[in-house]
């Protein structure tokens, strides 16, 4: 998956929340949390340990960032 907004940027410098936002912008649809995590993991080339180490912070960011909305059943979209 390529994210147009991050062309030419070092992926190691991107946050999970930035990548999640761009994925949802490009997809233009609601995504289940686990599917979103897999897409972020693949884009940032994170292993399981790296993803797990950042999971709590990411979920917190997702809940407090006003750009995202929980639509129930563990599905997320953009406002």
Decide if 79 is inside a domain.
no
What is the count of structural domains for the chain?
1
Residue 43 belongs to a domain: yes
The CATH number of the domain holding residue 51 is 1.10.10.1250
Assigned domain for 76 exists: no
pLDDT recorded at residue 15 = 96
pLDDT at 2 (0 to 100): 85
Residue 5 belongs to some domain of the structure: no
Cβ atoms of 14 and 61 within 8 Å: the answer is: no
Dump pLDDT digits (tens) for 26-69: 999 999 999 999 999 999 999 999 999 999 999 999 999 999 99
Residue 4 lies in a domain: no
Q: What pLDDT is stored for residue 59 in this prediction?
A: 97
Domain encompassing residue 45: 14-71
Selection from 50, 44, 65 nearest residue 1 by Cα? 44
Lookup: tokens for 64: 């407090």
Token pair, residue 32, equals 């289940």
CB 2 within 8 A of CB 46: no
| Token pair listed for 41 | 């993991």
Is 2 inside a domain boundary?
no
What's the confidence (pLDDT) of residue 79? 95
In a domain, 51, yes or no: yes
Distance CA 43, CA 17 (A): 12
pLDDT 10s digits, 1-25: 789 889 889 999 999 999 999 999 9
């Amino acid at each position: 998956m390529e994210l147009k907004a991050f062309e030419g940027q070092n992926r190691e410098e991107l946050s999970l929340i930035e990548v999640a936002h761009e994925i949802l912008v490009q997809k233009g649809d609601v995504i289940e949390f686990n599917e979103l995590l897999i897409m972020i993991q693949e884009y940032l080339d994170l292993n399981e340990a790296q993803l797990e180490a950042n999971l709590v912070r990411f979920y917190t960011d997702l809940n407090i960032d006003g750009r995202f909305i929980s639509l129930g059943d563990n599905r997320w979209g953009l406002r």
